[in-house]
Amino acid sequence: MSTNFGAGFHVVPGRAVDTSAYDQYIGRWSRLFVPAVLAAAEIVPGYRVLDISAGTGEAALMTLPIVGASGLVIGADISPAMVEAARDRLNEPSFWPVAADGQALPFVDGSFDAVICQLGLQFFPDPALGLLEFRRVLHLGGCAAVCVISTPDRAPMAGILADAISRFLPEQRNILYLSFALADPKRLEQLLANAGFRDIRVEREIREYIIQSFDDYWEPIEAGIGSLRQAYISLAEADRRSVRDEVRARLSRFESDAGLRMSLEMLIASGRA
């Protein structure tokens, strides 16, 4: 059994993005880390910012008020469906969505004051090449900041799901674990150094969040948004039931009076061109 992942792994080929499901599963916790990414990129009013792997525009949405009317945010994503979703969501004159490969950016050298990449670099076929491109399009002194997910045990809402699904799709384990591919801080630091960045910092950031119930957690997974969710819906019905039961049982340790209370760790790496 195999899954036909779309460009960027997050959208089923030929289908529009279910923005509500995407926000329910990914947006509600990824946005907790965006302010730290923007601070690491040292974004100020008037900046030209490139948001790579922009998705539905979560990071761009928070960047626009900072750069203001005199600034510009270009949201680049390899998935045309994501670009359309971001365009529909952010109907702002200072936001330009572009379908582009982060490893071959269609911009001249030194085009931007800052580059950000929220939860995208780990999915690049060659993250080192992507960082070289980030560095190339930055002007001298500009900052790039990337956010990647930590290890599966420090991101249980994704780690447990990846583990459960991989039992039924062992041949796709490498893809299912791409979310955690850059969880080593030393490797991440070295990648930035090799790309020519200086003043490099890699910080661990932890946030806690609450999901009202397991059903609230599981609903967007059934919609098939994201690489893990696409793999899940490719399974036979009985196997999907087994995955759901296993994940429910393993997440039960996070139950509280308020719902599922979990912490999530990210690595935020930054460097100056």
Q: Which residue has the tokens 């080593």?
A: 184
Q: Answer yes or no: are the C-beta atoms of 108 and 127 closer than 8 Å.
A: no
pLDDT at 1: 45
Residue spans of the domains in the chain: they are 19-272
16-35 burial, b if ≥16 CB within 10 A, otherwise e? ebbbebbbbbbbbbbbbbbe
3-state secondary structure of 49: strand
Q: Answer yes or no: are the C-beta atoms of 119 and 158 closer than 8 Å.
A: no
pLDDT at 245: 98
One-letter-per-residue 3-state SS of 151-218: CHHHCHHHHHHHHHHHCCCHHHHHHHCHHHCCCCHHHHHHHHHHCCCEEEEEEEEEEEEEECCHHHHH
**CA 94, CA 84: separation in Å to the nearest integer?**
16
pLDDT at 12: 57
Reported as half-sphere exposure (CB side, CA atoms, 13 A), residue 91 has a value of 1
DSSP per-residue string spanning 235-257: S-HHHHHHHHHHHHHHHGGGEET
pLDDT at 2: 47
Angle between helix axes 214-222 and 237-251 (nearest 10 degrees) is 150
**CA 47, CA 94: separation in Å to the nearest integer?**
11
**pLDDT tens track of the chain, all 273 residues?**
445 555 445 555 556 666 666 676 777 888 999 999 999 999 999 999 999 999 989 999 999 999 999 999 999 999 888 899 899 999 899 999 999 999 999 999 999 999 999 999 999 999 999 999 999 999 999 999 999 999 999 999 999 999 999 999 999 999 899 999 999 999 999 999 999 999 999 999 999 989 999 999 998 888 766 778 888 888 999 999 999 999 999 999 999 999 999 999 999 999 999
Enter the CATH code of domain 19-272.
Answer: 3.40.50.150
Query: What are the structure tokens assigned to 216, written together?
Result: 């609230």
pLDDT at 16: 62
239-261 burial, b if ≥16 CB within 10 A, otherwise e? bbeebbebbeeebeebeeeebbe
